[in-house]
Structures are given as C-alpha cells and as structure tokens.
C-alpha cells in the first residue's frame, strides 16, 4: 500500500541551527501538508502546498519556515533558525484531490532542539 | 477556523464495551473526517462523512453527523485493546481549502 515516508525519524539540533525535514508524499497525490504536534498537545496545521506553491498557511508558519518541492518526489520543510519551542513531532501528509478525500500521514520526524 | 473539539478528553472502557466520542465544530462544513493516532505515530484516516449524510458505517465504526447542531459522533462497537489510541475529528482550515485542522482529541483506553 502506498505510504508517505519521512526522514529522519528523529533529529536533534542546536538552537539557532537550520534544519530540513524531508518527506516523500504518495506519488499520485497533488496536495501536500506539514503539521506539527508538540508533546501532549494537538496536531497543528502549518502549511499546504499545491502546484508548486503555498496554498494555505497558519499563523504558526512565519518567516522562519519554508517549504519546497525540489524534485518530483520530495517535499521539504526548512526551519531557518531553530528555537527550543520548535521541538515537536512534525508530520507530513498528502492527499489526492482538492476536497472530500482523506489525507495520508507519514510517521513523523521528532525534532529536538537543544 | 472551523476547528472541531472532541469530548470527552479521555475515556476508559473494558474490552467488548462500546465507546462514543463527540465532536463539535463552529462553521459550515462540506465534510467531516475522523482520524486515529496511536501514541507517537502518524494519524490514520478512519472515516469521512459528507454534509448531506446523517450516518455512515465502516466495520465496527459508526459516525453520525448533525449539521443543525454542528456536531458529530464516533461510535466504536465491541471495542478491543487494540483500539486504544487518540481519536480526532477534522474539518477544513478554510472552507475553500484542503488543509485539515484537528481538535484536541479523545484519548481512548481499552483494557482487557
């Protein structure tokens, strides 16, 4: 069964460092998303991406964050200068169509900022 | 935003019992989805119910939707220990968009 894959599964980084989280969405999906979940809290929407541009973003997704689809398969989230409060589980998801279909989530990357 | 909120926050039951979780949301929807999350893992889609549907079944899952009350419920019948997880309802971040937003979820614990 097709799945969304994320790498790495766990990343530890120093505060102030840049980090790139990687995702390979399901191949025929057109919409891509990043979410985060701080430990013990709810899953929060960050950004959605369609047709090589951001289609929606939340107030969390500030200038510290950027997304890119550098090739036909990868979808990345970059955090420019990490803060302690960026420590969270980051989930990538993809969906096939505009609406009325489910989103498929990866297993997440646990980011720890020290 | 149209964020859904689930209740109860936590639910503990015995194997074989039914579990009911509720979700309330704020604005009009085209559809509402339920997801499950095992501890520390990604979310898994369970079921989608459209705004013109009142009830939908999938295996041991039954979802209802009352658009007049802006609420939905998820019923898991004959629960198993493997159903232990957090359950979230999801609506759209923007009505015209595709991104989902999730409530705080109901943590279900099923003991054998």
| Interfacial B residues in 22-61 facing A (CB < 8 Å) | 30-31, 33, 37, 40-45, 48, 50
Nearest by CB to A56, from B44, B48, B94: name it.
B94
The listed range with the strongest mean pLDDT (A96-110, B40-54, B93-107) is: B40-54
* Sequence-separated (6 or more) residues with CB below 8 Å from residue A49: A31, A32, A33, A55, A67, A69, A75
Nearest by CB to A48, from B40, B50, B99: name it.
B99
pLDDT band with cut points at 50, 70 and 90 for residue A98: low
Q: Identify whether the C-beta of residue A109 lies closer than 8 Å to the C-beta of residue A89.
A: yes
Residue A14, CA distances (Å) to A36, A88, B2, B17 in order: 19, 14, 36, 47
Query: Is the per-residue pLDDT at B1 higher than 80?
Result: no
Taking the CA of residue A71 and the nearest CA in chain B, the distance in Å comes to: 22
| pLDDT given for residue A99 in this prediction | 62
pLDDT mean over B2-7: 74
| pLDDT given for residue A40 in this prediction | 87
Residue in B10, B98, B102 to test binding to A, most A beta-carbons within 10 Å: B98
Query: Is the per-residue pLDDT at B9 higher than 80?
Result: yes
pLDDT mean over B29-38: 92
- Mean model confidence pLDDT for chain A: 94
| pLDDT given for residue A72 in this prediction | 81
Q: Do B101 and A45 touch (CB under 8 A)?
A: yes
């Amino acid at each position: 069964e097709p799945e969304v894959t994320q790498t790495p599964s766990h990343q530890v980084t120093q505060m102030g460092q840049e980090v790139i989280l990687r995702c390979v969405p399901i191949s025929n999906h057109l919409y891509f998303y990043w979410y985060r979940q701080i430990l013990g809290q709810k899953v929060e929407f960050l950004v959605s991406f369609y047709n090589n541009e951001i289609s929606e973003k939340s107030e969390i997704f500030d200038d510290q964050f950027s997304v890119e689809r550098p090739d036909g398969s990868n979808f990345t989230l970059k955090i420019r200068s990490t803060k302690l409060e960026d420590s969270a589980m980051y989930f990538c998801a993809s969906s096939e169509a505009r609406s009325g279909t489910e989103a498929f989530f990866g297993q997440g990357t646990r980011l720890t900022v020290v | 935003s149209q964020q859904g909120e689930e209740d109860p926050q936590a639910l503990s039951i015995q194997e074989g019992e039914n579990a009911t979780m509720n979700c309330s949301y704020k604005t009009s929807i085209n559809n509402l989805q339920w997801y499950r999350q095992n501890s520390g893992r990604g979310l898994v889609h369970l079921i989608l119910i459209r705004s013109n549907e009142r009830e939908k079944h999938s295996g041991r899952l039954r979802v209802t939707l009352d658009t007049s009350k802006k609420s939905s419920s998820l019923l898991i019948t004959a629960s198993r220990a493997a159903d232990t997880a957090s359950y979230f309802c999801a609506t759209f971040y923007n009505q015209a968009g595709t991104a989902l937003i999730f409530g705080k979820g109901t943590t279900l614990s099923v003991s054998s």
